[in-house]
Amino acid sequence: MSKIIKQNISSDKNNNIIIDYNIKNFLKEKPQKKYYKSIAFLGPKGSYSYLAVKTYINNTFFQKTLINISCQNFTEIFLYLKIGIINFAIIPIYNNCTGLIKEVLTLFKSNIFFLYIKKKFKLPIKHCLVTNKRNITLHEIKKVFSHVEPFKQCSIFMNKFPKWEIKYCSSSSFAMEYIKKSSFKNLAAIGNKISAKFYKLKIIKTNITNKIDNQTHFLVLGKK
């Protein structure tokens, strides 16, 4: 456990110990499995999948040690679940605004003989537009970054600004992390308020989703 305690550790209302890793560091340090349960998600920290992991942990575990493992893409998640590197994965499968998430569905079907669905649950999705510059107006924005799904779920709002250049990222939290580090000050990202607070970005527009009751269905997957 000596290597684990060096990582980002927190606890929740159920007295669970939660340790945040990215997949690269997790594979490098290889903590002993007998001490924890590991859950992979599409990261980095602050993504909607990360919020789904937190929700699942709060509703499922009590006084356990859990490692949240941030992965760069869905292919990576399915691979490490299939070969037994991780215990579980939480993935988005369906959104009531845009339908099935095709990339995830394809990966799930191709790995269905190795996996089982442990649990299904829904998560409210509330998108907002954030920037890395204070006092910027909507018309000063040049480029907007996010995952493809938030762009589809916010298409009505996005269509109001046809001059904005759309930039696709691996996740909404990666988009926020990117604009936070960028030296350019006319960039924006679509994501959630928690992630915006984590990356210390300014929220300039809330409730930009096409549907007020926007929800994403998540699956908790395990290996058979």
What are the pLDDT digits (tens) for 68-117? 999 999 999 999 999 999 999 999 999 998 999 999 999 999 999 999 99
Of 224, 222, 3, 221, the closest CA to residue 92 belongs to 221
Same domain, 133 and 191: yes
Same domain, 116 and 47: yes
Number of domains the chain is built from? 2
Q: Which residue range is the domain that position 27 belongs to?
A: 4-125+214-223
Same domain, 152 and 89: no
Strand pairing class (165-168; 17-22)? unpaired
CATH number of the domain to which 148 belongs: 3.40.190.10
Strand order in the sheet with 143-146: 165-168, 143-146, 187-191, 128-131, 202-206
Same domain, 37 and 112: yes
Same domain, 20 and 118: yes
What are the pLDDT digits (tens) for 29-79? 777 666 688 999 998 888 899 999 999 999 998 988 888 999 999 999 999
Whether residue 150 is preceded by a cis peptide bond, meaning omega within 30 degrees of 0, is no
Same domain, 55 and 73: yes
Same domain, 11 and 108: yes
